[in-house]
Each structure stands twice: as structure tokens, then as C-alpha cells.
Amino acid sequence: MILKLPAQINAPRFRKDNSCSLSFDTRELSAEELMYILGVRQAEGWLLFSTEGQNLTVEAIPPIKATLDLKSHSERLRDVIFVLYKQSVQDQKFVGDFESFYKTRMEQVIDIIKGKLHD
């Protein structure tokens, strides 16, 4: 199913990574439209918007899968550990390369999680 609704764009929120968060206001929705929206919550897809009232068709949707190219949790964790590494070096709390710092911190995280496991 393709959801087509008349909508108004609210003020965009721009993020540090140059992405943009958009929200829309719609007219009153039918039960079927609400169920569809609930069913695709957290999904990625294509957004087509026109103020001209043009007849947007399925052909206007690119034939590739929509993806926001978000970082995985492991990539995000590595990036955060890298920032911690830079701060630790700057504050002279750590001397060494990132790989050794990363391995040490990951072992600490693993030990913390293992400590929460039931025997």
C-alpha cells in the first residue's frame, strides 16, 4: 500500500550532520490510514511532496531501497570511544594509540555486561 495524504510541513529541524528532521500535519485520518502508519513506524521509505497538486505516481519513486545510511550501534560505540580516547590523551590520562585504548574499553564494556548475566 502507498499512503497518500494531504499534509502541511511543519518547521524543519536541522541537525549537526546536515540531515533534517521533518514533521507533518494531516487532515483527520481514517482507521486504515492510521493502521498503515502504525505498521510502518520506524521504517525507512520514500517521501514525495508536491504543492502543485500534481498526480504523483509510483513511477516517481526511485527503484532503489530507501535508506538513511545511519551508523550501526557498533559504529556509534566506536566513534564515542574515539572521542573519549581523544579527550583522555588531551587530558594526559592516557598515552598510547587508539587501538589499544579501544580494546581496553571494549573489554571493560564486555566485563560489565558479563557481570549482569545469570549463572
For the cut 80, the answer to whether the pLDDT of residue 119 exceeds it is: no
> Per-residue pLDDT tens for 66-103?
565 667 788 889 999 999 999 999 999 999 999 999 99
Report if residue 90 sits inside a domain: yes
Among 42-51, 63-72, 88-97, 109-118, the minimum mean pLDDT is found in 63-72
Are 52 and 23 in a shared domain? yes
Report if residue 100 sits inside a domain: yes
Instruction: Give the domain extent around 36.
Output: 7-60
Q: What pLDDT sits at residue 59?
A: 67
Are 13 and 52 in a shared domain? yes
Report if residue 49 sits inside a domain: yes
Report if residue 85 sits inside a domain: yes
Q: What pLDDT sits at residue 109?
A: 94
Domain boundary among 60, 85, 101: 60
Q: How many domains does the chain have?
A: 2
> What would the DSSP string read from start to end of 26-90?
ESPPPHHHHHHHHHTTT--------SS-----GGGS-SS-----PPPHHHHHHHHHHHHHHHHHH
> By CB neighbour count within 10 A (0-12 exposed, 13-18 middle, 19+ buried), where does 65 fall?
exposed
